[in-house]
Amino acid sequence: MERTKTEHPRREFLKKCGLTAVPFVLPAVDWSAIAGGTQPARTIDSPKVVNFIFDGLSLSPSQYLEKLQEINTASPIEPDFYGNGGATKALEASFAKITGKEKAIYLPSGTMANQLAIKLLSGGNTKIIVPENSHVFRDEADAAQSVHGKRLIPIGKEKAYYNLSDLKNAIAYTTNNEVFQSGLDTVVIESPVRRADGTFVPLKTVEAISNYCKERDYKLHLDGARIHIAAAFHDVSIAEYASYFDTVYISLYKYLNASGGAILCGDAQIIDQMAHQIKILGGAVFQSWNQTAVALHYLNGIDERWREVVTVSKKLIQDLNKIKGVRITSIHEGTNIFDLTLDEGISLKKLAVYLYETHSIWLGRANEKGIVKFTVNESILSRDYDAILKAWQSGIEQARS
Ligand SMILES: Cc1ncc(COP(=O)(O)O)c(C=O)c1O
């Protein structure tokens, strides 16, 4: 059958999403694309994989089922009924507490959380200011325009994040140059910024924007899909960061390892309207405990674990940088994504295949500039530190030509 314009091969899709660091050796990736490569016998279910690719653990279906079983054995999971009761209500209560908001609600996707937040915050107004590189602007299939009758105004092009003067300029420009003032009172920030390799929007930038929005009675929404990661790397409390926003969305699957789902936190006045809106869009799912129980499990103790990820990854990067030909650098205001480059005499492919086959360590591909986005996550804690370092040291030796 002929491919339609909207069907993209997996790799093309990942590239367009800004996810160029596709794994070297994941079975789902076309193995033949690696010169001379044959698929190894080892499967994705290898126990205790240490991955330097994702924000989370990337559990296989059988690992996910085992985890659910383990959670259920420790304390029977209570089911929800359309989000009412059970693990879903418990997760909502936890997130309301973490963000310091009155209420929180489960939604089936972050896209829906972002879209419904900006829809309800803006009410009858139609203009929403969004970061040009944000998920809301680039990756939500024009839902704001086509479903909710909103016009997104992108700002901060070619910057990791916009600042207060960018915002003021954009507001002045639309106010002075449009005949019909159809209403602008909602602003979005994404932090950390996925399309800027996890750059964190600093507290002082957020504070300045938030104060300005409050003065003008504008509403502010945070796409904080990966906020715990940023909080750990920048030693910021989530409640403090969230206090500058009216609504905050956090993903359940990026680093909380659920199979999907999202949480939106905010005032009762906004969150109480959500269930109806979710239903209108067909997003009211019968049961969500299979996601929320897993997210709740990983939420428990998350701050301590991610603080340890920060410490261990800093040490690992220092030690790896001592190996001749290896360079790992951090990005400005970065979080868990670093730039890895290898000298010409070291084959990335040989290193990645060796690490994968011999040590169940996953490494991503290089981008067009030859940089591998070296991403750290909780999996780094699942193995003895010296074993990880030794694996890398011998991998690099094997990969030298
Ligand atoms: C920053 C950001 N916001 C929102 C989303 C949307 O999440 P979902 O896939 O649950 O719709 C993503 C997912 O990639 C994201 O990275």
- Cis ω before 192 (30° cut-off from 0): yes
**Distances in whole angstroms, Cα of residue 295 to Cα of each of 92, 101, 254:** 11, 19, 10
pTM (2 d.p.): 0.91
190 lines ligand 1 (CB under 6 A): yes
Closest listed residue to residue 337, CA positions, set 367, 358, 298, 302:
367
Answer whether 250 contacts ligand 1 (Cβ < 6 A). no
137 CA distance to ligand 1 middle (Å):
11
Is residue 140 within 6 Å of ligand 1 at its C-beta?
Answer: no
Give the closest residue to 197 by CA, choosing from 378, 370, 19.
19
CA-253 nearest atom, ligand 1? 10
CA distance 397 to 25: 20
Superfamily for domain range 10-55+303-399:
Aspartate Aminotransferase, domain 1 (3.90.1150.10)
CA of 104 to the centre of ligand 1 (A): 18
CATH topology of domain 75-299: Aspartate Aminotransferase; domain 2 (3.40.640)
CB under 8 Å to 56, separation ≥6 — which residues?
A: 253, 254, 255, 256, 257, 377, 378
In sequence order, what DSSP letters do the residues of 204-227 get, joined into one string?
Answer: HHHHHHHHHHHHHT-EEEEE-TTH
d(CA 331, CA 335): 8
Ligand 1 site, residue 259, Cβ cutoff 6 A: no
CA proximity to 107, closest of 86, 123, 83, 77: 83
**Domain range list for the chain:** 10-55+303-399, 75-299
Angle at alpha carbon of residue 102, lines to 305 and 153, rounded to 5°: 85
Atom of ligand 1 nearest to the CA of 193: 1
Q: Which atom of ligand 1 is nearest to the CA of 260?
A: 10
Rounded Cα–Cα distance for residues 377 and 399 (Å): 25
Rounded-to-integer distance, Cα 226 and Cα 294, Å = 16
C-alpha 192/C-alpha 334 separation (Å) is 8
Ligand 1, atom 5: closest residue by C-alpha:
110
- DSSP 8-state assignment for residue 331: P
Can you tell me the distance from the alpha carbon of 243 to that of 240, in angstroms, rounded to the nearest whole number?
5
* Length reported for the chain: 401
Pocket test for ligand 1, best of 13, 111, 264 (most atoms within 8 A of CB): 111
Ligand 1 centre to CA of 188 (Å) is 14
Six token digits for residue 177? 């140059």
Count other Cβ atoms within 10 Å, centred on residue 304.
Answer: 10
pLDDT in tens, the chain (401 residues): 334 444 445 455 445 544 444 555 554 333 333 323 343 333 344 458 999 999 999 999 999 999 999 999 999 999 999 999 999 999 999 999 999 999 999 999 999 999 999 999 999 999 999 999 999 999 999 999 999 999 999 999 999 999 999 999 999 999 999 887 779 999 999 999 999 999 999 999 999 999 999 999 999 999 999 999 999 999 999 999 999 999 999 999 999 999 999 999 999 999 999 999 999 999 999 999 999 999 999 999 999 999 999 999 999 999 999 999 999 999 999 999 999 999 999 999 999 999 999 999 999 999 999 999 999 999 999 999 999 999 999 999 999 98
